[in-house]
Amino acid sequence: MIHHDEVTWAYRMLLGREPESEVVLNHYATQLDSRQALRALFMQSAEFDEAVQQLPARSKPAALSGPAMAVQMDAAPDKLEALFDKISQQWHHLGDTEPHWSVLTSQSYLQNNIQDSARAFYASGVSELAVFDATLARVGLAGRHFATCVELGCGVGRVTAALAQRCDQVWGVDISASHLQLAAAHMAEQGLVNVHLHQAMGVDGVAPVPSFDLLYSRIVLQHNPPPVMHRMLALLLQRLSPGGVAYFQVPTYHAGYRFSIDEYLAAENTTSMEMHYLPQHELFKLVAQCNCQVLEVREDDAIGSARHAVSNTLLLQKLG
């Protein structure tokens, strides 16, 4: 048996509409025994096929033919910390005001609505981890066991709880104290004792343990300026154990995007969520420098389907 909210959100997310009636909700909630069965039922329907056919084409000619981005990557230590401090102010504000919405920017997850949608919010973390499992399977690592996981940008624990079911130990890292307080409460509600939460107080504070065999991060790096993204990834990939894997998402191109360290620091913004881009060639150079190999790289929809932007999800493995 599954919860009514899960059936409702299956309708909204897969079919783009509300359920026909309470009778239909009751029928699916009582007759189906798992989320997997619910998802399979909806995704095999003719209505879902029709909805998919109406989606815009995923080709991105504007991004494919766009010019190089002008991105300043080299930041002196003091400038790097200044960049981090500015991002920290933004995310402390977001964590204090709209912690769930700042993780998944849907109206349903605003503070006024989260009481009714919390179950669907956390269920999305389980679904997200299923995508990770499928990625592992495609490269011959199905069922891989992980001793220690570092989740960069754990937020309120949306994916953390699911990771804790797969790993012996999970270190959830976040910049926002408010996010971490909510994550701790969620872990306690789930009875999870193998999760450790760590607040990053500086750009070099994102790696809470000397070594680990899984790095997981999605819809997180994109909110940091390119030099900060690069530094965080460098520190984490350097500490990844030989044979360990890193699964993370990062935007790599936006036509017209530019980044100047001094201009950014001079601009006023201490409350709004930002989107930044790490040039793909810089990312691949970093991967090689950290002695990792790319097992898979795919374009994703983590930043929407804009024709002028590209986001990538990567699976890496640390070489021995």
CATH number, residue 91: 3.40.50.150
CA distance 50 to 161: 34
Answer yes or no: do 15 and 100 share one domain. no
Answer yes or no: do 286 and 181 share one domain. yes
User: How wide is the angle at C-alpha 139 spanned by C-alphas 136 and 103, nearest 5°?
Assistant: 35
Q: What tokens appear for 25 in the block?
A: 């909700």
**Count of domains observed in the chain:** 2
Answer yes or no: do 48 and 77 share one domain. no
Q: What is the per-residue pLDDT across 125-149, written as a single tens digit (0 to 9) for each?
A: 998 999 999 999 999 999 999 999 9
CA distance 171 to 240: 13
CA distance 89 to 19: 41
CB distance 261 to 290 below 8 Å: no
Q: What pTM value is reported for the model? A: 0.82
Assigned domain for 182 exists: yes
CA distance 126 to 142: 17
The mean pLDDT of the chain is 90
Answer yes or no: do 48 and 81 share one domain. no
Answer yes or no: do 164 and 17 share one domain. no
For the residues 8-37, what does the mean pLDDT come to? 74
Q: Where are the beta strands (DSSP E) in 31-90?
A: 70-71
Answer yes or no: do 36 and 132 share one domain. no
pLDDT at 30: 72
CA distance 280 to 28: 44
211 has a pLDDT exceeding 60: yes
CB distance 147 to 213 below 8 Å: yes
54 has a pLDDT exceeding 80: no
The parent domain of residue 295 ranges over: 72-318
Assigned domain for 205 exists: yes
pLDDT band at 25 (very low <50, low <70, confident <90, very high): low
CA distance 208 to 236: 9
Type of residue found at 38: L
Q: Which of 4-8, 201-205, 287-291 has the weakest average pLDDT?
A: 4-8
270 has a pLDDT exceeding 80: no
Q: Where are the beta strands (DSSP E) in 60-177?
A: 70-71, 146-152, 167-174
CA distance 157 to 223: 18
State which H helix or E strand residue 215 sits in: strand 212-217
Pairing of strands 167-174, 195-199: parallel
